Amino acid sequence: MDVRKVFAKFYVGILVVLGLYVFFGSLIGVGIRKVVGEKKESPKVVEAIQTEVEEEHTKDKVTRFTMGDTIINRDYKLTVESASIIVSDKKYAQPDENCEFVEVELTLENTSNDILNVRAAYFTPYVDGFIMDSFNVDAYLPSSKNILSADIASGKKVKGVLCYEVPKDWSELELFVNLSNYFGDDADAILVIEKEQVTKLESE
């Protein structure tokens, strides 16, 4: 028996076995990586992720609302009850020439777990695109209703008015509402009141 031939065949056999082991081991490793590291999400999961992204994007948009609407925020519910032009009979509470007083009545409910602060300054008024004085004392004098200004306990409500002096030829009053974070840059919502929606009242 030629010992060298037998050893040579044995050596070749070992190399073949090792080669097959490495080859199939690499295939198994690739398969594991595909299953674990490159798992594709099901259509339902993809749809859920897309919906979540769209909802987050929608949250960034400022809601516009108007007379009779209720804006629902994470901290409160705000309802526009009425809007009126008030003709004052008080000598020292008259608007400037070619101006008039507009009174907006709102109801606010605190739906958060904390005290909610509300002040007239938290509503920034724009008339036909121009910013107006957010707290003109004279504009409040003809009204007999409470100013919308309070520290509201959780689950409680307050009703009050915001009053502005505006030009007589105004068309649109916008109130940028910023109650959730007064020192933030963005409004929670925008209240839009058209002049034709407003009633005219004598001094209350």
Distance of alpha carbon 154 from alpha carbon 116, whole angstroms: 7
pLDDT, tens digit, 9 for 90 and up, residues 85-133: 988 887 778 899 999 999 999 999 999 999 999 999 899 999 999 999 8
Tallying the residues shown for the chain, one arrives at: 204
pLDDT, tens digit, 9 for 90 and up, residues 122-141: 999 999 999 998 888 889 98
What pLDDT does residue 52 have?
58
HSE-CB at 149 with a 13 A cutoff on CA atoms is 11
Question: What confidence tier does 37 reach under pLDDT thresholds 50, 70, 90?
Answer: very low
